[in-house]
Amino acid sequence: MAKQDFYEILGISKSASQAEIKKAYRKMAIKYHPDKNPDDKTAEENFKKAAEAYEVLSDDNKKARYDQYGHAAFDGPQGGGGFGGGGMNMDDIFSQFGDIFGGGGFGGGGFGGGFGGGQRQARVKGTNMRIRVKLTLEEIAKGVEKKVKVRRKVQADGVRYKTCTTCNGSGQQMRVTNTILGRMQTATTCSTCSGAGEIISSKPNGADAQGLIIKEETVPINIPAGVTEGVQLKVGGKGNDAPGKNAISGDLLVLIEEIQHENLKREGTNIHYDLYVNFSEAVLGVSKEVETVTGKVKIKIDAGTQSGKILRLKGKGLPSIERYGTGDFLIHINVWTPQELTKEQRQFFDKMQSDDNFVPSPNKSDKSFFEKVKDMFS
């Protein structure tokens, strides 16, 4: 089923400013908020759609990509490499867009300090962790699963919690201030339990003040084909835990690094390779076996091939992470000129200097170096 247009979801035009986008999302968030629509699956789905639309349209880079490619711009890896909100859960939305729902933003705590029917308990999220993963071109071409060991904070066995007496389990403290407009009620995160609504009553030896211990864990990471240097993937729930029975874990953020290939050079989804042939091979023609990122291929070099000629193998490059096809494998022919000659070889070439076949005579089909570069990038 085709996804609904993000602008249509928020009821705005493509020319809407960031202030208008935020205002439209806030309006939708209030209308479909779970506290106003308990047990209403349709309202919850609309609430998630609005959050997904806002996540993209509130970011200038993501918005530009969406305007150009539509939803296809984010149909990539898990977590979208930081793109798109498809699959967002309610905890993601509340933690990511807290400024939309927060504090006294709606005046007088009309929704209990940002919703919650007056007493929505905040779900504390643990901190994110960041790692780097190095990939070869061959791994990037096919996609790969990497298993990495991480040391993350997890809740220790045997930790016991009790309700926070400061906020009575709500995770929030209400403050009333007098203003020229009257008494204003606002909600802030509880200073005692940091919003968890609970505090530790007992913990085992070895656990820190928050009841957490360090544990080593092997985490599988599915890396899609076509990733680029600097792309950041997200593995949900594999960051550090937070204290509290209702807490949710942070995320593991994976930064991709590309290992430079010894013989191949990447340019977007295209791969460049310098192939050297000797003078005789260029004159007589030859078949060569070339190693690409997806396996070996056999190519034919025609007799009389000139140095600088580029052979293009369509679809033998890297796939696009955004699923816009596959790049090409470009073979740059370099004719190797011998630097030392025997007496007989020198005599042969001396004779050939005045031979008509050895006199340069390029025709219109023989493009200049600059024309080849222009064609290559187009």
Residue 302 pLDDT more than 90?
A: yes
Q: What DSSP state is assigned to residue 103?
A: G
Closest Cα partner for 185 from 126, 104, 242, 118?
104
> Does the structure show a pLDDT above 50 at 365?
yes
**Does 20 fall in a domain?**
yes
In a domain, 270, yes or no: yes
Burial class (CB in 10 A: 0-12, 13-18, 19+), 211: buried
Amino acid 96: pLDDT: 57
Structure tokens at 251: 């995320």
Q: Is residue 69 part of a domain?
A: yes
What is the rounded CA–CA span in Å between residue 273 and residue 292? Answer: 9
Contact 153, 212 (CB under 8 A): yes
User: In 254-291, which positions are buried (b, 16+ CB within 10 angstroms) versus exposed (e)?
Assistant: bebebeeeeebebeebbbbbeeebeeebbeeebeeebe
How many structural domains does the chain have? 2
pLDDT of residue 84: 40
Q: How confident is the model at residue 284 (pLDDT cuts 50, 70, 90)?
A: very high
Average pLDDT over residues 9-21: 91
Q: What confidence tens digit (pLDDT) does each residue in 197-206 have? A: 888 889 999 8
For residues 326 and 319, give the distance between their C-alpha atoms in angstroms, rounded to a whole number: 4
- When comparing pLDDT for 121 and 233, which is higher? 233
Q: How many CA atoms lie within 13 A of 240 on its CB side?
A: 14
Residue 53 is part of which domain span?
1-101
Domain termination residue (choose one: 74, 101, 128): 101
Quick check: is 75 in a domain?
yes
114: pLDDT strictly greater than 80: no
CATH number, position 295: 2.60.260.20
User: Among the ranges 122-136, 187-201, 300-314, which has the highest mean pLDDT value?
Assistant: 300-314
In a domain, 78, yes or no: yes
Spatial distance between the Cα atoms of 322 and 77, rounded to a whole number of angstroms: 9
Within 10 Å of residue 134's Cβ, how many Cβ atoms?
Answer: 11
Choose among 121, 351, 107, 144: nearest CA to 254. 144
Closest-CA residue to 293 (of 261, 333, 256, 257):
261
Least confident of 67-71, 82-86, 106-110, 346-350: 106-110
* Residue range 106-119: mean pLDDT, rounded: 39
The last residue of one of the domains, among 40, 74, 101, is 101
Q: What is the pTM of this model?
A: 0.61
DSSP letter, residue 259: P
The stretch 362-378 carries a mean pLDDT of: 61
User: Does the residue 174 lie in any domain?
Assistant: no
Which among 28-32, 175-179, 226-230 has the top mean pLDDT? 226-230
Out of 68, 101, 134, pick the residue that ends a domain.
Answer: 101
* Residue 180, pLDDT above cutoff 80: no
Is residue 106 domain-resident? no
Q: Is residue 184 part of a domain?
A: no
CATH of the domain at 35: 1.10.287.110
